Amino acid sequence: MAGMNVRLHSSITAIGPGAWDRLACPPGAPMNPFVTHAFLLALEESGSATVGTGWEPAHLTLEQGGVVIGAVPAYAKAHSYGEYVFDHGWAHAFERAGGSYYPKLQVSVPFTPATGPRLLTGNDPVHRPALAGALKQICQRLELSSVHVTFETEDEASALGEAGFLLRNDQQFHWTNQGYRTFEDFLAGLSSMRRKNLRRERRQALEAGIEVEHLTGTDLREEHWDAFFAFYMDTGNRKWGTPYLTRDFFSRVGATMADTILLVMARRNGRYIAGALNFIGSDTLYGRNWGAIEHHPFLHFELCYYQAIDFAIARNLRTVEAGAQGEHKLARGYMPVRTWSSHWIAHRGLSDAVERYLVAERARVSEDIEALREHSPFRKHNQPGEN
């Protein structure tokens, strides 16, 4: 790190959008909407990811000769909520032994379990080791217990592993476009029983006179966000207790990122009753939030999974990431895919214990993925490989 300076920033506003996006979304690389300056700014300025919610911005930049050559979206955290990579057990064990697990440093996109770059270096991965070293340096300087990098790319996980981070795997379910021209092309690759079930689900989802709209770009208006926020709050309060995102967040991304948003809305008897929010990358559609104020069989599957497939085929997108967890997605053509996180723990005893746990957990995840793929809905010669 000779000749390099590490700086911490208490807000993304301290880093210019041009400098940040040059590293996060360089020309020629896949565009991930969640690491853009606009998305992170919306989280902060809307009050969704702030000190008050336990997500204190602590973004890191690496500078050389006055030029920013690396950046990391990071947060000092006093809890482990909203991360989707669960370390509560580690925290409880350390605290029972007399240690203090919080605060910790979280390198992630808040409330967003979607794989994407975390060590932002533009098209020059040579600076990844320096960023990994800087994260450990910051952790020690601020007397934090640990650094956690979640949902990074596999290449970044490899670089972090070489820097002494502990590697962790989990799984999600992603749909892969195999050159389909229509949804029927996709169905043709499924077994007869699964093909019949999907057609039935799509038909029954809309039987109550429900109409579906795709809204993106200039189609998005505040009335749509008002309706969607009502769905989000109703479903979020029932499932999670406290929804993470504020109403203002949706207005902000609608104003600054409209062309990267797909809002799938369901209307019945002239009013909106359900919706699914997606973000559009250069090759991937990311399903993020869903909500409904009326229950209709299979409507969740229709809006979140099947409409996403329709859109991805029409846009020639390679992948649909439908969010965290959910083995029920397998029967609907979403296959298990390995995800990565990396962890550096300052306390040697806790680090050794976690490392032993992760060895067994990685083996179990591999076994689970292999077993799930044996229950693929695809005919054998049509089954997509693991991403």
Taking only the tens place, the pLDDT of each residue in 140-198 is: 999 999 999 999 999 999 999 999 999 999 999 999 999 999 999 999 999 999 999 99
Helix axes 37-45, 247-256, angle to 10 degrees: 150
Domains of the chain plus CATH, in order, are 4-170+337-373 (3.40.630.30), 178-317 (3.40.630.30)
Q: Which residues pair with 68 in a beta bridge?
A: 63
Task: Give 340-384 pLDDT, tens digit per residue.
Answer: 999 999 999 999 999 999 999 999 999 999 999 999 999 877 778
- pTM, full prediction: 0.96
Query: How are beta strands 211-215 and 55-57 bridged, if at all?
Result: unpaired
Residue 325 has pLDDT above 90, yes or no: no
For the record, the structure tokens of 158 come out as 């490899």
**Residue 386 pLDDT:** 63
d(C-alpha 175, C-alpha 387), whole Å: 10
d(C-alpha 262, C-alpha 242), whole Å: 24
pLDDT band at 387; cut points 50, 70, 90: low
Q: Are 340 and 154 in contact (CB under 8 A)?
A: yes
Query: How are beta strands 271-280 and 284-292 bridged, if at all?
Result: antiparallel
List Cβ neighbours of 254 (8 Å cut-off, separation of 6 or more): 220, 222, 225, 261
Q: How many CB atoms lie within 10 A of CB 129?
A: 15
DSSP 178: -
| Nearest C-alpha neighbor of 151 from the set 103, 109, 102, 91 | 109
**Residue 85 pLDDT:** 97
Share of the chain above pLDDT 70, in %: 97
